[in-house]
Chains A and B, each alone.
Chain A
Amino acid sequence: MSTFSRGRVIVLALVVAGLTTLSAQAPRPSASATRPTVPPGPGLGVPATEALVASWDVSIPPDGSGLPAGSGTVAQGAQIFNTKCIACHGPEGAGTVNDKLAGGQGTLTSPAPVKTIGSYWPYATTLFDYVRRAMPYPAPHSLSDPEVYALVAYLLNLNGIIPQDAVMNATTLPQVQMPNRAGFERAYPSRAR
């Protein structure tokens, strides 16, 4: 304790006791360089149950953690696509009023790159994540997990990334190597642009 003054020790004790109004008059407790000090709050956060977290956490990172059970095939996906997706994305994902989903490989160095799942998307897991949370546009969250796997299988097959007989599930999807996987450079951290 020889490095602390008696006064500072008392102040720190008071801060710990909750008398935070005094902290502004006292030397701040040391903070790590990467974690700046923040204003204290009243501590009103309500503990979240595991069930709540599990039911809300729909994001799927590249390693596939969090992918649900179930599986889907290319043929199943074609049926769903031709019923629920074709109006906006066109036959075989050729694009109509909304994004073209297939083709475009080899165009990224041209003056007008054609960005599709096959030519541009770096991770197959993103496809599952996005379709499940946001598609089809008029009725998100209306597809079952196996239906999402099937659509993902169909779209990857349309782009020539997986074979016709491939099955997508929590094991196979993260193993899919996307053609443009190495096509991105991180600008962060960077200057403003």
Chain B
Amino acid sequence: MRRVQVVAGNGLLHRRLFLKESAGLAGLALLRATPAAAAQSQDVPAYMKAPGQGMRPYGERSPYESAVQRLVVPVTGTTGSGSSRTPLEHIEGIITPSSLHFERHHSGVPDIPPADHRLLIHGLVDRPLTFDLAALSRYPLVSRVHFVECSGNSTALYAAEPLQATAGSLHGMVSCSEWTGVPLGTLLAEAGVKPAGRWLLAEGADAAAMSRSIPLEKALDDALIAIYQNGERLRPENGYPMRLLLPGWEGNTNVKWLRRLKVVAEPVMTKDETSKYTDSLPTGKALQFTFPMGVKSVITSPSGGSTMQGRGLYQISGLAWSGAGRIRRVDVSADGGATWGQAAIEGPVHAKALTRFRMAWRWDGGPVVLASRAADDTGAVQPTRRALIAERGTPFRYHYHAIQSWSVAASGEVRNVYV
């Protein structure tokens, strides 16, 4: 039997424990004795005594899982404006089920018959063109795994006192899908961008006609016109029949229900890039066009709002992501950041995608503070909350990406805390 290696304070164990050294588990005395003898009569549940339900043309999850829901947070006095959040504490892996992808709408979800919808590319182009869904479906498609995160995700953590809520309630305006679509550069090449073109005005077909100015550089780098999400057509709330996907950039720039791209020389200065989605500084100035989302992680199990089920071996599980590239490393602390141990990262690790990390942990029943700290392949490291706020000041409302800490009390209660 191999020794279980403690790598950091309060019971954090070596990242390979669950991967390569399962024999070590015996040393933790976790294996439970099997019942001594089989029952005299056969124990057969009812569902084994008759054939089950037949096939169905479109699947549904188990009814016993119906409590796993998005947290819907509408803007007061409106329908369809506001957000719903992915219940991060109830899902695993890196792909967010489409039904649980977070939502942020500015005037509801439009009901768009695909035959009616066209994407217009115009402005500083040689040939103004329209494309419908059938046409785009014939273009060379690419599939990529990327997160989308609202720039207002985690904004509650700027508050002076820690709000008591789950990982999903606090940080669930991030989700990750396999998106399939047409590289935007292909369509722009067909329209022929004139030399003066430097930005794109992207506009949606919702009742807000949500619009943002996007640098042409990004459009030609890795932008997609996405028409599939996790293998099926986009969900209405994620932009059906087509959306802009700007990997790693703040969610609202990934314009849903995309209807128009106008090539322009300078930003149009829309409402959502001037009065909203700009970041106020203590000087009174505000930063505009803060596009990429910072390197970030959160432990999703255990999560705030949950209660530990007794002392013993646990697997800490969490998500890390960066709008700049791939997650390179995640460290976990169980003593509020005094000591750190390296977590296992599950591959394949995609650029600008949620990345799952795991850490073996033996909880001895005492009070601890859990935290995770991500680093990406550009060398950026997730900051502490104290450092983030010291740098930005408190009027800043967007792009919160500091280290999240959960306290675990002797009672097992898990709470959001500031360290």
Contact A62 B269 (CB under 8 A): yes
Measured CB to CB, the nearest residue on chain A to B287 is A187
- Nearest-CB distance from B65 to chain A (Å)? 35
For residue A57, which residues in chain B have a CB less than 8 angstroms away from its CB?
A: 122, 260, 262
Q: Does B411 contact A (CB under 8 A)?
A: no
Contact B285 A185 (CB under 8 A): yes
Partner of A39, one of B128, B183, B284: B183
- Nearest-CB distance from A182 to chain B (Å)? 8
For residue B287, which residues in chain A have a CB less than 8 angstroms away from its CB?
A: 184-187
Partner of B77, one of A39, A98, A112, A185: A98
Contact B291 A109 (CB under 8 A): no
A48, B260: Cα distance in complex, Å: 12
Q: Does B121 contact A (CB under 8 A)?
A: yes
A4, B304: Cα distance in complex, Å: 65
Contact B284 A41 (CB under 8 A): no
Contact B286 A191 (CB under 8 A): no
Measured CB to CB, the nearest residue on chain A to B198 is A34
Given A44-B139, A134-B107, A183-B284, A191:B274 Cβ within 8 A: no
For residue B294, which residues in chain A have a CB less than 8 angstroms away from its CB?
A: 192-193
Contact B131 A120 (CB under 8 A): no
A134, B207: Cα distance in complex, Å: 6
Q: Does B264 contact A (CB under 8 A)?
A: yes
Given A47-B129, A126-B270, A192:B275 Cβ within 8 A: no
For residue B271, which residues in chain A have a CB less than 8 angstroms away from its CB?
A: 126, 129-130, 134
Q: Does B215 contact A (CB under 8 A)?
A: yes
Measured CB to CB, the nearest residue on chain B to A49 is B128
Report B266-287 residues with CB < 8 Å from chain A CB.
266-271, 274-275, 278-280, 282-287
Contact B266 A61 (CB under 8 A): yes
A97, B79: Cα distance in complex, Å: 12
For residue B282, which residues in chain A have a CB less than 8 angstroms away from its CB?
A: 109
A86, B139: Cα distance in complex, Å: 48
Partner of B189, one of A38, A42, A122, A129: A38
A162, B248: Cα distance in complex, Å: 41
Contact with B along A48-76 (1 / 0, CB 8 A): 10001100111111100000000000000
Chain A residues touching B, range: 35 or more
Contact B207 A186 (CB under 8 A): no
For residue A122, which residues in chain B have a CB less than 8 angstroms away from its CB?
A: 269, 274
Contact B139 A41 (CB under 8 A): yes
A134, B203: Cα distance in complex, Å: 12
Measured CB to CB, the nearest residue on chain A to B108 is A137
- Nearest-CB distance from B235 to chain A (Å)? 23
Contact B208 A56 (CB under 8 A): no
Contact B269 A140 (CB under 8 A): no
Report B234-268 residues with CB < 8 Å from chain A CB.
248, 259-260, 262, 264, 266-268
Q: Does A113 contact B (CB under 8 A)?
A: yes
A110, B380: Cα distance in complex, Å: 30
A120, B275: Cα distance in complex, Å: 7
Q: Does A190 contact B (CB under 8 A)?
A: yes
Q: Does B414 contact A (CB under 8 A)?
A: no
Q: Does A40 contact B (CB under 8 A)?
A: yes
Q: Which of B142, B264, B266, B285 has the most CB of A within 10 A?
A: B285
Q: Does B176 contact A (CB under 8 A)?
A: no
Closest 5 CB pairs of A and B: A45-B129, A97-B77, A38-B185, A192-B292, A188-B289
Other than A40-B186, A48-B130, give 17 A-B pairs with Cβ distance below 8 A.
Answer: A36-B220, A39-B183, A41-B189, A45-B127, A52-B130, A61-B267, A97-B78, A98-B75, A108-B395, A109-B284, A115-B280, A129-B270, A134-B208, A184-B285, A187-B288, A190-B291, A192-B380
> Can you pick out 24 interface pairs between chain A and chain B where the beta carbons lie within 8 Å of each other?
A39-B183, A41-B140, A45-B131, A46-B129, A46-B130, A47-B128, A48-B122, A52-B120, A56-B259, A56-B260, A59-B203, A61-B266, A62-B269, A98-B78, A108-B286, A125-B269, A134-B207, A183-B284, A183-B286, A185-B287, A190-B291, A191-B380, A192-B322, A192-B324
